[in-house]
Structure 1
Amino acid sequence: MREMTVEDEQLALHALSLIDLFAFNSGDTEQRIVGMCQRALTPVGPVAAVCVHSRFVCLARTSLDRLFAPAIRVVALVNFPYGGSSLEPVLAETRAAVISGADEVDVVYPFRALLSGDQQTGLQMIAACKEVCGSRVKLTVTLETGDLRDPQMILQACRNAILSGADFIKSGTGKGLAVTTSQAARIILESVAEVGGQVGFKIAGGIRTFDDAGTFLKMAHARFGPQWLNVDRVRLGSSGLLDDLLVRLGVQEENASRL
């Protein structure tokens, strides 16, 4: 591991402030959610958000408020991770998340429907979820680009999601085997550029190290400039990344994750 320069340290601190921590396993417990919320307050500053299944939204929000961390956002994972095509369960989950106090909803795009040639399901689902979220709750649309694969398919999904009201486009769930590629990230950034950078960019899936984070942040910086790289426009979806950053910043020993 190379020695951190001043520039590296600044980049690491910036990356940490953009992290979305995840608890997305079916066996997650209340204890684990509380532990993740505690972990979100690091010795060098807070992360951006914690991401939980909709049933844990209230617990996460309460836990963060008790830690005097109201600025850390709670993101509800919806239609996760399989990206089903049935509208009503997704809307019910979204409503429950909003009622429970979610700051953001992260819905997995029905990518298998798109792969089969069905664009309408995705358009309708995202538009309906946005209507439930309204203006207060931000909507992330997760594309699972590792499954879509084809650049034109990824571009079409991005455009459909943006057209339907997405506030963020995210590259993957982090549950798939395929990692987010630089090509997929560029396609998302291209789609965001088509609307003047008014939609955010989230990366998840295979982003585990300081170098991984730096690669994607530099891509976003090159496209939109430094002012765009803020919590309302860019997120890094990874829990493993936090460990690497804390080790490199000298506030955690290697292999000492608290989750």
Structure 2
Amino acid sequence: MFEDRHIAARLAIALMDLTSLNDDDSPAVIDNLCQQARTNQGDTAAICIYPQFIPQAKAKLASSDVQIATVVNFPSGNGQIDMIVSQTNQVIDYGADEVDLVLPYQALMQGNLDTPKAMVEQVKAACGNQVLLKVIIESGILAEAKLIQKASEIAINAGADFIKTSTGKVAVNATLSAAKTMLDVIAVINPKVGFKAAGGVRTLDDAVRYMQLGADRLGNDYLSKKTFRFGASGLLSNLLSELGQESGDLNSKY
């Protein structure tokens, strides 16, 4: 399916959440990210940024279909449910189109299944049907397939629109083995739930491996921004290089 590398690269761009979640993010960094999200090879699916930058990005990308995603309970996953629901309401008021929630994965590892379930349910209630909810399970910390499976099951059954591998803030982020486990859970419980690989997807070859896995498990139509994403910061420049563009061409459509 991915023999034509140009077609594969354009598809990967369309499935990307172009991400900047760094301590030194600034308005200038976010402006540049918004410019990068719109390329001559197509727009990325979304940008993922910290909540305080949502109004700025919303204004900058108002003429596009690029969605604004942000994070809550990030990156530790240790927040109290009422505080995270309040944070979710706030980022929705700011204009977020998508919310990436960190599951209380440490509670899950300690055998507490109720807290992760309740948090996802209540954050989903705050998001409603208008705001997409992605749940980050932090698969690199969970590590064991049975824990990755359980986290995925809890998130989906509690209302997640997507399940996402990682915050990108730990030593091990997205892996193909974790992705396989998560996609298999999606296939069994609800094939309409999306999957997002985040952290460590840096090249077209990396992206193709995940896209092929998604297509093998759930069909070629699953490779849509409605159901399949990459969370990435460095991937875009590699894809554009594959397409014969230099980094200076990133913002030429803006």
Structure 2-normalised TM-score?
Answer: 0.94
Percentage identity across aligned positions? 36
C-alpha distance in 1 between matches for 2:79 and 2:44: 32
Is residue 220 of structure 2 the alignment partner of residue 226 of structure 1? yes
| Structure 2: runs of 5 or more not aligned | none
C-alpha distance in 2 between matches for 1:74 and 1:47: 11
Shift of 1:85: 3.9
| Structure 1: runs of 5 or more not aligned | none
Match of 1:22 among 19, 24, 34: 19
Match of 1:106 among 100, 111, 125: 100
C-alpha distance in 2 between matches for 1:210 and 1:175: 22
C-alpha distance in 1 between matches for 2:3 and 2:107: 47
Structure 2 counterpart of 1:93, one-letter code? Q
Structure 2 counterpart of 1:53, one-letter code? Y
Shift of 1:37: 0.6
The residue that corresponds to 2:181 in the other structure is 187
C-alpha distance in 1 between matches for 2:170 and 2:39: 28
Give the length in aligned residue pairs. 250
C-alpha distance in 1 between matches for 2:54 and 2:247: 30
Structure 1 counterpart of 2:129, one-letter code? S
* CA shift digits 1:126-160 (9 cap, x unpaired): 00000000010010000110000011011000000
Structure 2 counterpart of 1:8, one-letter code? R
C-alpha distance in 2 between matches for 1:186 and 1:148: 14
Match of 2:51 among 35, 54, 58: 54
**Contact 2:5–2:242 (CA under 8 A) maintained in structure 1:** no
**Contact 1:189–1:223 (CA under 8 A) maintained in structure 2:** yes
Farther off after superposition, 162-171 or 92-101: 92-101
Quickly say closer, same or farther: Cα 1:72–1:169, change in 2 above 3 A: same
Q: Which has the higher contact order (CA 8 A, sep 6+)?
A: 2
The residue that corresponds to 2:121 in the other structure is 127
Shift of 1:57: 1.4
Structure 1-normalised TM-score?
Answer: 0.92
Q: Secondary structure at the match of 2:4?
A: helix
